[in-house]
Amino acid sequence: MHIDIITLFPEMFRGPFDASIVARAVEQGLVQIELHNLRDWGEGRHKVVDDSPHGGGAGMVLKPEPLFAAVEAVRPLAAEPGRVVLLTPQGRLLTQAIVNELAQFPRLVLLCGHYEGVDERVREHLVDDEISIGDYVLSGGEPAAMVLVDAVVRRLPGALGSEASLAEESHAQGLLEYPQYTRPADYRGWRVPDILLSGHHEEVRRWRRRQSLLRTARRRPDLLAKACLTDEERRWLEEELASD
Ligand code: ADE
C-alpha cells in the first residue's frame, strides 16, 4: 500500500511513524508512507496557504490552489491515482468497518485540514472521502491522520506478528474483547478466573464469548444492538444484566 500525507506539519509524524507496527510495516515493505509539506505549494514569496473567509468571520481558511496543486503534483508519483481523504470533524465517523474498507485501497492520499477549515471547493471537487476520528475538534488533521494510518496499516496482511489476534480483538465482530490475563495466576490475592487455568478449550471459548457479550452490553449497548446473538445467549445476558 502507498500512503501520501499532505500536511503543513510533516515533522509531527516522525516520532509516531518511527516506532511500533507502522515502522515495522514500512521496513517490511508492506506500506510506503510519503510526507509532503503543503507549504511547498503555497503562493508567492511567503508561500501563503490560507486566507480570511469570504463573508467575514473568525479564523483562516485553507485556500483551494495549494491543495489542488499538491494533490495534482503528488498523484503522478505513484502508479495508482489513490483515494483522496480529507481529515475533518465533519467527516464520516471512523469505525473498524471504515478502516477495513480503506485498507483495501492500494493508495490513499490524506489531506490534513487546519485553521477554520478548507475552502468548500476542495471538498466538492478534489476529495473522495471525509473522515472524522471523533466528535471533538483537534487543532489540525494530523493526529487524525496518524490514527487512521495506524488503524489501516495493522490490517495489512503481515503487519501483525499473528493474524489470529485480528479476529479476536475488540470491534472485530462488532463486540468488545473479553478480559485478558497473563501470569502470575495470583497477583496480590487477585486471582485469574479458574476457567482460564483449566485447559478446557471449549469452556474457555464459551466463557470468553459470554464475557465479551457482557462487557459490550454494559459498556457499549449501541454496539450490542447491532451484534448477532443466539437465543440462548440473549436469555443468559438478560439474566446476568438483571442482577447488575
Ligand atoms: N480535524 C480537526 N478535528 C478533527 C477530527 N475530530 N477528526 C478528523 N480531523 C479533524
On average, the pLDDT of the chain sits at 95
Instruction: State in Å: Cα 103 to ligand 1 middle.
Output: 20
- Indicate whether 2 pLDDT > 80: yes
pLDDT per residue as tens digits for the range 86-121? 999 999 999 999 999 999 999 999 999 987 899 999
Residue 1 confidence (pLDDT): 97
pLDDT tops 90 at residue 190: yes
Q: Which of 79, 137, 150 is nearest to 110 (CA)?
A: 150
What is the residue with the minimal CA distance to atom 5 of ligand 1? Answer: 89
In the reported structure, the alpha carbon of residue 8 is separated from the centroid of ligand 1 by a whole-number distance in angstroms of 15
List pocket residues of ligand 1, CB cut-off 6 Å: 87-89, 113, 132-134, 136-138, 141, 144
Is residue 178 within 8 A of residue 215, CB to CB? The reply is yes
Q: Which atom of ligand 1 is nearest to the CA of 131?
A: 8
Question: What domains does the chain contain, in order, with CATH numbers?
Answer: 2-153 (3.40.1280.10), 170-242 (1.10.1270.20)
Distance 26 CA to ligand 1 centre (A): 25
At 39, list the grid cell: 507549504
- The pLDDT of 56-71, averaged and rounded, is 96
Residues 7-58 have pLDDT tens digits of: 999 999 999 999 889 999 999 999 999 999 999 999 999 999 999 999 999 9
* pLDDT tier for residue 166 given thresholds of 50, 70 and 90: confident
Please state the atom number of ligand 1 nearest to the C-alpha of residue 135.
6
Over residues 129-138, the pLDDT tens digits come to: 999 999 999 9
Residue 152, pLDDT score = 97
Q: Whose CA is nearest to atom 6 of ligand 1?
A: 89
The answer to whether the CB of 194 falls within 8 A of the CB of 205 is no
CA–CA distance, 27 with 67 (Å, rounded to integer): 29
Which pLDDT band, with edges at 50, 70 and 90, does 172 fall under? confident
**Ligand 1 centroid, distance to 7 Cα (angstroms):** 13
